[in-house]
Structure 1
Amino acid sequence: MNQEDDAPENAYTADPGSADDAEATRRDAGEAESSRASRGWWDRNADEYQSEHGAFLGDDRFVWGPEGLDEADAALLGPAASLKDKDVLEIGAGAAQCSRWLAAQGARPVALDLSHRQLQHALRIGDDIPLVEADAGNLPFRDGSFDLACSAYGAVPFVADPVNVMREVHRVLRPGGRWVFSVTHPVRWAFPDEPGPEGLTVSASYFDRTPYVEQDERGRAVYVEHHRTVGDRVRDVVAGGFRLLDLVEPEWPEWNGQEWGGWSPLRGNLIPGTAIFVCERA
Structure 2
Amino acid sequence: MIQAPAPRPAPEEPEATRRVADDTESSRANRGWWDRNADEYQSDHGEFLGDSEFVWGPEGATEDELQLLGPAAGLHGARILEIGAGAAQCSRWLAAHGARPVALDLSHRQLQHARRIDDGRSPFPLVQADAGVLPFADASFDHACSAYGALPFIADTARVMREVRRVLRPGGRWVFSVTHPVRWAFPDEPGPEGLAASASYFDRTPYVEQDENGHAVYVEHHRTLGDRVRELSAAGFRLVDLVEPEWPDWNTAEWGGWSPQRGRVIPGTAIFVCVAP
Band the TM-score falls in, shorter-chain normalisation: over 0.9
CA distance in 2, matches of 1:86, 1:211: 36
Q: Pick from 142, 145, 150: which aligns with 2:140?
A: 145
CA distance in 1, matches of 2:217, 2:59: 27
Is the aligned partner of 1:22 residue 2:14? Answer: yes
Is the aligned partner of 1:232 residue 2:227? Answer: yes
> Which TM-score applies when normalising by structure 2?
0.94
Q: Secondary structure at the match of 1:90?
A: strand
Q: Pick from 168, 177, 186: which aligns with 1:182?
A: 177
Q: How do residues 1-282 of structure 1 correspond to structure 2 at under 5 angstroms?
A: 20-126=12-118, 127-282=122-277
CA distance in 1, matches of 2:12, 2:211: 9
CA shift digits 1:182-205 (9 cap, x unpaired):
000000000000000000001001
Q: Secondary structure at the match of 2:87?
A: coil
CA shift digits 1:160-187 (9 cap, x unpaired):
0011000000010001110000000000
Q: Secondary structure at the match of 2:85?
A: coil
CA distance in 2, matches of 1:132, 1:141: 10
One-letter code of the match for 2:110?
Answer: Q
CA distance in 2, matches of 1:73, 1:102: 14
One-letter code of the match for 1:50?
Answer: Q
One-letter code of the match for 1:229?
Answer: T
Q: Secondary structure at the match of 1:182?
A: strand
For residues 68 and 20 of structure 1, do their structure 2 counterparts lie closer, same or farther at Cα, with a shift above 3 Å needed?
farther
Deviation of 1:20 after TM superposition, in Å, equals 5.0
CA distance in 2, matches of 1:129, 1:37: 28
Aligned length: 264
Q: 4+ runs of 1 displaced by more than 6 Å?
A: none
> Which TM-score applies when normalising by structure 1?
0.93
One-letter code of the match for 1:206?
Answer: Y
Deviation of 1:130 after TM superposition, in Å, equals 1.1
CA distance in 1, matches of 2:194, 2:45: 22
One-letter code of the match for 1:240?
Answer: A
Q: Do 2:12 and 2:212's aligned partners in 1 also have CA atoms closer than 8 Å?
A: no
Q: Secondary structure at the match of 1:132?
A: strand
Q: Secondary structure at the match of 1:239?
A: helix
Name the % identity.
Answer: 77
Q: Secondary structure at the match of 2:197?
A: coil
CA distance in 2, matches of 1:86, 1:151: 16
CA distance in 1, matches of 2:41, 2:124: 20
CA shift digits 1:62-113 (9 cap, x unpaired):
0000000000000000000010000000000000000000001100000000
Q: Secondary structure at the match of 1:236?
A: helix
Q: Do 2:146 and 2:176's aligned partners in 1 also have CA atoms closer than 8 Å?
A: yes
Deviation of 1:25 after TM superposition, in Å, equals 0.4
Structure 1 unpaired stretches of 5+: 1-18
Q: Secondary structure at the match of 1:62?
A: coil
CA distance in 2, matches of 1:159, 1:215: 16
For residues 27 and 171 of structure 1, do their structure 2 counterparts lie closer, same or farther at Cα, with a shift above 3 Å needed?
same
One-letter code of the match for 2:223?
Answer: R
**Bigger RCO (CA 8 Å, 6+ sep):** 1
Mark the structure with the bigger radius of gyration: 2
One-letter code of the match for 2:45?
Answer: H
CA distance in 2, matches of 1:140, 1:229: 28
Deviation of 1:129 after TM superposition, in Å, equals 2.2
CA distance in 2, matches of 1:106, 1:169: 22
CA distance in 2, matches of 1:59, 1:92: 16
